[in-house]
Chain A
């Protein structure tokens, strides 16, 4: 790889460190909490950017994949396990080392899965579900994936909302921190705040590097070729359906990872994370950042989620993202980080503001 591709990543890393140092020094390190959460949401956006920009497919169910990861984390790390398994099975699992037995704050027995197992389960479930949705749908040309994922998202939302083990409308709280290294936890404890910030950002930047490599490779060329002419891509030996499927699965796994760690960080998850409005939000952010523009999507994923988490959009939160989607589609379908889009937006603001400063 050329240095030119490493430099922006290194720069981003430096900015991430700078933010932490500044915020810790000025006593504004509570902002790190929202920056951590924004990074997890941006992970979802990054995966969706890959799907929309490089496979030409839209998922209206990425919030559901996020929630799939989140609820897996939640169920497997709370006492909900006693609802899943009988006492005998639990004991057997404890013996096999698959379940950890400890005591909760009140001294009662608490069962939870070790981090590697719950993370592995979250990924496996997501892979299985995304394959199951993608295989029949991605054989067809056109935007059937959007509809299939919309259906999937709606169903999953209803399941989370209506099932006791998922906490129904309240969701699941008291999710335990997830131990990454001895003494370092993904969780809400203030003493772990800086670690959590760096963990989330390393995850996000790592994902960015993987995807930047991917789109520059033989696989990336194949994906762009499919975009250019599906027929000619096939004639060059590219299995177009399989490539789209793999992208969809990778994209879903990214979303699930975001949900998994976010749930540990927040100590809980609720059904609204799986809702359609959340999925629309992710699509809107990708539209603003630019399809097939990983950097743009990362930036907008962090910035817009940060603003939303800080409450800048007030009670219009969902409406802001809906409106953004409409405005972008009308004005800058390539995203805002394009010369054409920028000049079009400039032109419009010039015309709109003209009568005021005349």
Chain B
């Protein structure tokens, strides 16, 4: 039984078949990449796994149990966190607060305890802040903890989103184009970070257009084109796969 099993997943928008009968597994502790030209259905696939889109057909099994069709927050509680291709931060909150929201699953205080904060609740609050600050420093955000998230530059916003996702201590992390908009130097740092995350025991499923990054860090790659999976395997096989080459040669992203 694989850690995450994507089984015959299909999703269409009106007549457009965005994801068509896609199946693949993600093994625990590995970095798996999903690549493919623009509009191939990669983000749609993520949205289906994370519960952000209503499912049509197929199934998603996580740690042996189906999560397909569950509401987003329940999928999160099962141990899946994500980042977005178009950054979705809580703009009016500070960097620290954003990351603390990531600690939501790791803290307990409900409405009553929040209104009447006893010492236990205050301790939990302090711990949340400390842990969040720890994840912020991992992403190099220590100097902007109290800055408004919406006012940061693009690269830092990506970092906040990343820290927020990590702060929930997920077992599976979904990264949708984490290198988009980063410079070469930042991209290299990102590669190190993703490896570090894998070594912490977090399984990573990522969508990425930066081929050198993908080939560098992935243990396995699945290739989508027009919603269909056309290849799957380790990076060296994918690089040689004629079908993949032809898809990418007809596209600017090669």
Contact A236 B168 (CB under 8 A): yes
Residues of B within 8 A of A220 (CB): 114
A38 on the B face (CB < 8 A): no
Alpha-carbon gap, A51 to B34, bound state (A): 42
Residues of B within 8 A of A224 (CB): 90, 92-93, 97
Known contacts A211-B115, A225-B101, A235-B50; is-contact A218 B107 (Cβ 8 Å): yes
Alpha-carbon gap, A148 to B168, bound state (A): 36
Known contacts A224-B92, A235-B52; is-contact A217 B73 (Cβ 8 Å): no
Contact A236 B107 (CB under 8 A): no
Contact A250 B111 (CB under 8 A): yes
A308 on the B face (CB < 8 A): no
Residue in A232, A234, A250 whose Cβ sees the most chain B Cβ within 10 Å: A232
Residues of B within 8 A of A232 (CB): 84, 88-90
Question: Distance (Å) between the CB of B153 and the closest chain A CB?
Answer: 18
Contact A233 B116 (CB under 8 A): no
Chain A 1-33: CB-based contact to B (< 8 A → 1; otherwise 0): 100000000000000000000000000000000
Question: Distance (Å) between the CB of B215 and the closest chain A CB?
Answer: 28
B241 on the A face (CB < 8 A): no
In terms of DSSP, what is the predominant structure of the interface of chain A?
Answer: helix
Contact A234 B72 (CB under 8 A): yes
The stretch that binds A, out of B60-68, B121-129, B199-207, is B121-129
Contact B101 A221 (CB under 8 A): yes
Chain A 212-230: CB-based contact to B (< 8 A → 1; otherwise 0): 0110011111101101110
Alpha-carbon gap, A211 to B77, bound state (A): 27
Task: From B50, B51, B109, give the contact of A218 (CB < 8 A).
Answer: B109
Known contacts A231-B88, A235-B72; is-contact A219 B110 (Cβ 8 Å): yes
B236 on the A face (CB < 8 A): no
Task: From A217, A228, A240, give the contact of B91 (CB < 8 A).
Answer: A228
Q: Which residue of chain A has its CB nearest to the CB of B161?
A: A232
B11 on the A face (CB < 8 A): no
Count of residues in A whose CB is under 8 Å from the partner chain: 28
A239 on the B face (CB < 8 A): yes
Contact B114 A234 (CB under 8 A): no
Residues of B within 8 A of A235 (CB): 50, 52, 72-73, 76, 81-82
Contact A234 B76 (CB under 8 A): yes
Question: Distance (Å) between the CB of A56 and the closest chain B CB?
Answer: 12
B117 on the A face (CB < 8 A): yes
B195 on the A face (CB < 8 A): no
Residues of A within 8 A of B116 (CB): 210, 213
Question: Distance (Å) between the CB of A106 and the closest chain B CB?
Answer: 45
Contact A217 B117 (CB under 8 A): yes
Contact B97 A229 (CB under 8 A): no
Alpha-carbon gap, A86 to B81, bound state (A): 60
Question: Distance (Å) between the CB of B78 and the closest chain A CB?
Answer: 10
Contact B115 A238 (CB under 8 A): no
Question: Distance (Å) between the CB of B23 and the closest chain A CB?
Answer: 24
Known: A235-B52, A238-B73, A250-B111. 4 other contacts (CB 8 A): A213-B115, A217-B109, A234-B71, A234-B73
